[in-house]
Every structure is written in structure tokens, then in C-alpha cells.
Amino acid sequence: MPIVLIQSLFYLGIMAMARLARPGLFKLCYRRADKSMSLIQAVGLKLVAMWFILAAYTIPVFLIPHTIHPLLGWSLYMLGALALASVAVNAFFLPFLPVLVPWLGILGALLVMANPWYQDGVVRALAVFGYAFCCAPLLWASLVKVMACLQISLEKGSLLGKVG
């Protein structure tokens, strides 16, 4: 139980520091870039942003103790994913809601699985599959929105520049 409390405080601290450090962190470290960013740099930056968002949803799985109660474990996972997703939002200046769509999808899948009125496991599995089928277009739309936001930031030159 102390490990869970320490992890919860750690995630809350990450969220607080990411929120407090947003306004001036990158303005101090980077200056405006020239407009001639190569295609490899642009694709690499988009790839890094997507890997960072993916890592925000996978890293908390490996940090949660295996012997924890499922309700505590899933709530700790959701808190950790939210904290790391907020770091991705602040680091790459992304809109919060499209980055949070996978988090909302996972939360919805947990609620669909936790519904106690299913007759058996087959009906439960079909319900989760139907939920995932309905959520897939929303996930795709959020991915397109994040990629468009990254592209606009790259075209403006406001995301990352040369270290100065």
C-alpha cells in the first residue's frame, strides 16, 4: 500500500510540474527555427510525438505492482496515463482532448467490462468488441487531429528549433 501512495503522489507531482512548467520551459530553451526544416526532421518529430503518446499509455502498466487489487490498480493506471499524457500535451503543445481520447476509450472499456448484467463471458466479450468497434473512428479522428496540430506547429516553426 505505501508503494501505491508513493506512485499516486509521483503522478500527481508530474501533472503539477507539467502544468507549471508549460509557459516558459520551451521558450527559454529554443529560439525560432528557420523555415527550411527537412522532411526527415519533420517526420522524426511526428514519430517522437506519437511514440511519446503511446508510451504515456503503456509505461504505467509496467509500474503498477502485480499483487494490487484491480480497482486500485486500474485507478492508479488511469492516473499514471493521465499524468504522462499531460506531459506529452505540454511538451509538444498539443490539444488536450485528442490526446485524451485513448484514455477515455480505456475508461469506457473498463466500464463496459464491469457491467454486472451480462449473462456470460461471450456476451461480455461481444459487448467489449462492439464498444471498441464504435470507438475506433473517434480514436482515428483524434490521431488525425494530433498529426494536423503537429504539422501546423512545424510549419509555424514554433515547436522546436535550433538549440540556442
**Number of domains present in the structure of the chain:** 1
Residues near 32 by beta carbon (within 8 Å), at least 6 away in sequence? 157, 158, 161
* Residue of 160, 7, 15, 149 whose CA lies nearest to 85: 15
Residue whose cell numbers read 527559454: 28
User: How many Cβ atoms are within 10 Å of 98's Cβ, its own excluded?
Assistant: 21
- Cα angle for residues 62, 139, 91 (degrees, 5° grid): 60
Query: Are the beta carbons of 34 and 102 closer than 8 angstroms?
Result: no
Tell me what pLDDT residue 99 has. Answer: 93
Mean pLDDT for the chain overall:
83
Rounded CA gap, 48 and 26, in Å? 16
* Residue of 60, 58, 65, 99 whose CA lies nearest to 79: 60
Q: Could you tell me if residue 164 is inside a domain?
A: no
Q: Could you tell me if residue 108 is inside a domain?
A: yes
Rounded CA gap, 61 and 11, in Å? 13
pLDDT in tens, 11-20: 888 888 877 7
Tell me what pLDDT residue 101 has. Answer: 95
Is 50 exceeded by the pLDDT of residue 164?
no
Q: Could you tell me if residue 138 is inside a domain?
A: yes
Lowest-confidence segment of 26-35, 55-64, 69-78, 82-91 by average pLDDT: 26-35
Q: Could you tell me if residue 162 is inside a domain?
A: no
Q: Could you tell me if residue 161 is inside a domain?
A: no
Q: Quick one: what percent of the chain has pLDDT higher than 90?
A: 40
Q: Could you tell me if residue 31 is inside a domain?
A: yes
Tell me what pLDDT residue 103 has. Answer: 94
Tell me what pLDDT residue 68 has. Answer: 86
HSE (CB half, 13 Å, CA atoms) of 22? 15
Query: Are the beta carbons of 160 and 46 closer than 8 angstroms?
Result: no
Rounded average pLDDT over 79-96? 89
**Amino acid making up residue 6:** I
Which structural domain range is residue 19 located in? 2-156
Phi-psi bin for 157: left (phi > 0), alpha (psi -120 to 50), beta?
left
From the number of C-beta atoms within 10 Å of its C-beta (0-12, 13-18, 19+), residue 49 rates as: buried
Is 60 exceeded by the pLDDT of residue 27?
no
Q: Could you tell me if residue 13 is inside a domain?
A: yes
Tell me what pLDDT residue 25 has. Answer: 45
Length of the chain: 164
Q: Could you tell me if residue 50 is inside a domain?
A: yes
pLDDT-based confidence at 47, cuts 50/70/90? confident
Lowest-confidence segment of 36-40, 73-77, 138-142 by average pLDDT: 36-40
Is 80 exceeded by the pLDDT of residue 126?
yes
Is 80 exceeded by the pLDDT of residue 118?
yes
